[in-house]
Each structure stands twice: as C-alpha cells, then as structure tokens.
Structure 1
Amino acid sequence: MARPLVADIDLDALRHNYCLARELAPHSQALAVIKADAYGHGSVACAAALESLPAGVRPPAFAVASIEEAEALREGHIEAPIVLLEGIFEAGELARVEALGLWLAVHSEWQVNALLAHRPARPIPVWLKVDSGMHRLGFTPEEVTDVWKRLTESPECVTAVQLMSHFATADAVDDGYFRQQLACMRELAQRLDVPLCLANSPATLAWPEAHGAWVRPGVMLYGSDPLEVASDATRRLKPVMTLRSEIIAMRDLNIGEAVGYAGRWRAPRPSRIAVVACGYGDGYDRHAVDGTPVLVAGQPASLAGKVSMDMLTVDVTDIAEAGIGTEVVLWGEASNGRVLSVDTVARHCDTISYTLLTGVLPRVPRRYLGLDA
C-alpha cells in the first residue's frame, strides 16, 4: 500500500477560476500564468485543462518565468503562445525563443540590444516592461519612450509591442500607491497609443479600472484569495489543490505529556493525538504553529507539536471517529465538502499561500481530477 499523502488537483475548479477571471474582465484578454510548475499544480496538466475550454473561452496565451518552463509546455504539446515574463537571461536563448514561437518580455537595455541584433526569421511579439513603482524589473517611465521607439522602428525584429507593469499593492486596502502606478501607466499608454497589461490576480479581482487589454491571473487560478480583505469575487474562487493524507498512528496522552521535537505542545487535558503522514519533507511548512487548522474526517482539528520531516501530529480529542486510516486534509476540500483554505493555513505559518502551493515537493503524487472535461 502506498503512503497515503496525495495532492488532488481539481481541474474543473481551475477552469472555473479562469472563467471567473474572464468574467471579471470581459473587455480584456486573460493571460494564464502557469510559472513555477503552475504554482505547484503541474504546468502541463493545467495548461492542457485550460486549452480544453471552448474556442473563445480558452486562454489566448500562457505565461512562464523561463525558457525551460516554456520548453516543458511545448514538450507537453501545448500549442498556445507563451510569454516569457522575465525575458531571456542571455542572448543565446533567442534562437530557442524563435524555435518555440515564444513572446518576449524585455526589461533591460541589454535585452533590447540583443533582440535588435538577432534578426529573427519572423518578428517576435514583445511586452515592454515598465518599472512604475515596484522597483524590480523594467525601464523607468522616463526611459520608456526611447525604448518603445527603437522597438517599433524595427519591424523586421519586433511586432505587437505592448506595455506591461506590475502592481506592488493591488492586494491592499490602502489604494494610494496602486493609483500612482496606474496613473503612470495610463499616461504612457495614452501618449504612445499602446495596449496595456497591468492587472495581476488582485487587480483582476478588485480593480476593473486596471484591466487594460490584458489581465494576468496567477494565484487566483488556483483558488487562493490574494486580497487583504475578502470580496464577493474572491469568495467565488474554488480550491484547486487538496493536500490529503491519513492518520497512520494514534497516541493517548495524560495531562502535561509532550508531543514531538522540543516538547513544544503539552496536553492540557487527557488527549488523543493522531500521527499524520505529511511533513516538511513533503513541503508542509515547518513553521506551522500549534493550533494550525486541519480537517480530520471533515471536522476542524489542529496541529499539536512541531512538524517533522515525514509526519505531523494533530489533536483529535474531540473527534470520536478519528482512527487509523481516517482522512486528513491539510488544505483544500474534504470528502464531506468542508473547505480549509490554503490562505488560512498560510497565516498560521506566517507566510502566504504561494509558498505553500509551490513548496509541495515532487515526492507527493499529483492526482488529477476532471481530466475528461
């Protein structure tokens, strides 16, 4: 019998979340972001599931972080255009960009020079990255006009130039900085008469004025709420990954007896402790505190003691039916339909859902549901 830990990937939920992004931005095209192996969900399977949507609904393009991620999609028979969000990392990659039919973000002078010197057989669609306030990648607003002219005046090399930027605070209640970035990009787009791609997941969910020609739904595709305060839109998201395991052992403790490394948790009453097959060696966060929620037999329970490499321990004193083989959901949807949000678990680990989802390691099997849609 195999170890019971599995990551169930609900492809119907993925399709639902993508369609929600399209519904929220009906006048924009929706670029489906599937970098980092689709945030840990499996990029080829997720891309194929989204490509199975009807014509006119399926994504017009996907987005990844590197050419290696793009190659994996092409090897998986994904045919849609793919945007390299960070562009090339060295000039020699441009031949592979051409061969794979990729779209290219450019954010640095050397990338522009390399592209214009390359002379591709067919012009490459370019997404010109602007640093509107994130201060990571991109040209400053003052530099953009000159770079845009150089690109658009080289039609043998470049086609379909668009402006792209990234919001630093679109998830926040305080919208002051967000609006500064938005105003900067709107001014550039109006002056240059060029399409905009601005809206990440939080802006897609909460800021229609930022939608532009393209939106870039990322973590929302996988059912995570990126906003500081939940909204009607985020409450419609469906969890895609359920990290599911079982109880593999039970322990009865007296008052004051400790559990796990360093004896961090001590029984405040006569207690029943369940040992669950999941640990930081699987990607479950070792920083999870006592009281981090889990679902046992579809009922709320909580972590008791430090997470180990291959196991964690849960207080099931109040769950009479808990026993060896009982279902445990670390996040996602239990068999009885109760949902434990990955965002809730992340808060107990002092992190964000992105790190939990992308951190599920390869030794955890992915089981895909909804393949035949």
Structure 2
Amino acid sequence: MSDVKKVVLAYSGGLDTSIILKWLQDEYNCEVVTFTADIGQGEEVEPARAKAKAAGVKEIYIDDMREEFARDFVFPMFRANAIYEGEYLLGTSIARPLISKRLIEIAKETGADAISHGATGKGNDQVRFELGAYALMPGVHVIAPWREWDLNSRESLMAYAEEHGIEIDYAKQSKKSPYSMDANLLHISYEGDILEDPWNEPEDDMWRWSVSPEQAPDEPTYLELSYEKGDIVAINGEAMSPATVMETLNKIGGDNGIGRDDIVENRYVGMKSRGCYETPAGTIMLRAHRAMESLTLDREAMHLKDELMPRYAKLIYNGYWWSPEREMLQAAIDLSQEHVNGTVRIKLYKGNVYIAGRKSEKDSLFDESIATFEDDAGAYDQKDAAGFIKLNALRLRIGAKRGN
C-alpha cells in the first residue's frame, strides 16, 4: 500500500465514495484526487466539491461531460442499434468507458499512480472500469475498496462514517430510495430491495422519469427526427446537439410512458441479475434509427449489421469499449451510415413508439415505380423471377430426389 502516493477517485460525494475517500487516506496513506462527472444523472454535482474540500482534498475535478457522453459514446452505439440480450439498451454499460477515460487523463495530468472506484465485487462495473483503465494506461494501479475492506453492509458503512467524523445527511438518508440506482442521459436503473425476487412486480412509485402508460395522455404526440449519417441532428426542424436531443426525448418520451423495462440479464461475472430500467430517449432512438435505415441502407449491409450487433452489444456490456475488436466493428458501422440521412416521423402513445412516416430525398433506396402493385411501366420484368426461383431451388430439388 505504501507504493501508492496519489490516487484519483471516481467520487460522487455520496455515502459510499465519501467513506472510500477517507479509507484511502488512512489505509494507503496517500493523497487523493477526486473526479466527479456530470453525465446527465439529474443531480447537482457541485456539492461534491465542498465535501471533498472538507476531507482535505487539494485537487478536485468536476466535469460536465454530457455532450461528450452523448456525442462520442451513446450516438456511436445507437448507429449499431445495439441492444443486449434482446432487451437492455446498455445505459450503465456505455457510461463506464467515458469515466475510465477521464480517470486516466486526470491520473496523467496530476502524476497519480493509481485510480479507485466504488464498484462492488459482484457487479459488471468493476470489470468495465478496470478493462478501460488498463487499455488506456497499462501500468496503472487500480484500487477497488469493495474487494479489500470488510465494510459489507450499510450498517457497517454508517458506523465507519460516524467513527471517522464523515458528515451524513440523515434526512436525505431517511428519504433515500431502497433501490440501488444509476442514472445518466441515457437511462436510470433500479436494482435491489423487492426487485431481488424476479416474481415481484415493480411498485409504480419507483419510476422517476416516466408516467405509467395508463396515466399517459389520451392524445398521441408526433415528432419528426432529422438524421445525418445515422445521428439525430434536429427534432421538429430545430437543430440540437446530441445531449439536447437526448434530454428532449427523455422528457417527451417519459411524459408518454415510453421506455420502461424489467429485465433478468446475464452479468459478465457469471450471475443472473434482475433490474428495471427507464430509457425513454434510447427507446425512441432505436425504433426511429431502424426506420431510417430501412429506407436508406442496402439489404445485405443491413443484414450484416444485424449479425454483428449482438457481438458489438456484448463487447460494450462486458467492458470492451476500448478493445481493437470494438473499434474495428465501429469503423464498419460508421461506414454503413454514410447514406442514413432523412427524416422519421414517430407517434408516441401510452408507452408505445410507432413509426408514422419516413423519407429521404437523396438517399432513399425505396423505388415506388418498382415496388408498386400497379402498372410499373416495365421497370421490373416479372418473368425474370422464374429463373431466379429455379436457380435457388436447384439444391432443394436435387436433395428431394435423394428422398430427404
């Protein structure tokens, strides 16, 4: 432990990371640099500065990373239509490589020889943080207190805080949600408490971003989403930055009961876990992007993307954002988006996202003169289909002669 002179801590200012801060100072006898990221979690991050100062921290980083998060992480992921195990839109997973990146940048800026995080030894986040850190700074020392200390319950954490004079807002603690929650621009997640039994239905007052579909407006909401190279650049004709797009869709989607999900997923560390998620913007973005691609993307390019997507999604879920294979896949995905330009009209109604229209003046591959059921004026010779079918049936006919 004495080899560590300075450590950069991913610090929220909450109970857990406040205890980790003190624990690092005492157990490692080292200087601690704190890093707090605003990635759209919807809570004030500035109070963390006062708490860090009170703990004797001299170097405090508080960064607004919402635009970088949306532009460089979420939007590239949605170009791939990434979804893990058919349901999870990777809201927590995609935030971890950004935090790892900034931890390493700060470590280099401050001359720190270690980083630390508050992820537990049972979850995926420890893997994601550390794979990212090692990919960006191979020799970094990673300190994961939950794998080292014996403070394994909330009671023991509270006792430690009291013993070491760590300030606790008891009023806030008494109002604290019983769930383990994670939030950013893409989603908010809920785990623990009654959700640990997969048979229990989530309580309606658990959800924070969305109304229930039953309570959503009786009139649908229409939106027009403008795309350039696979990314939403405007809503209803108003140009918006990536983060503003997501904030807008979260609000409108949540108001219409969009984006609730209840999932049992397979963690990378080997166990199954049950979690509930609210992802209004992501739910809309996935549906609309596929509609835009349906009009503008070549058939075989689309099918190849669909084959690659589960691998790409698993790489993100498991923490391999900074791996060469993810970067290779991203290059192919980004190339496929060159002509994914146009507008999608969506209808939001009581928890559902409907496609109400799509158009692309320059890049549409939909040719009405060929697709029509009416007279196509010779644009398509239907007699050609006979040879096409016979050639594709050749192996089936030969096999049938063998008596399959």
The structure with the greater share of residues assigned to strand is 1
Q: TM-score range, shorter-chain basis? A: under 0.3
Alignment TM-score, normalising by the size of structure 1: 0.22
Larger helix proportion of the pair:
2
Structure of larger gyration radius: 2
TM norm structure 2: 0.21
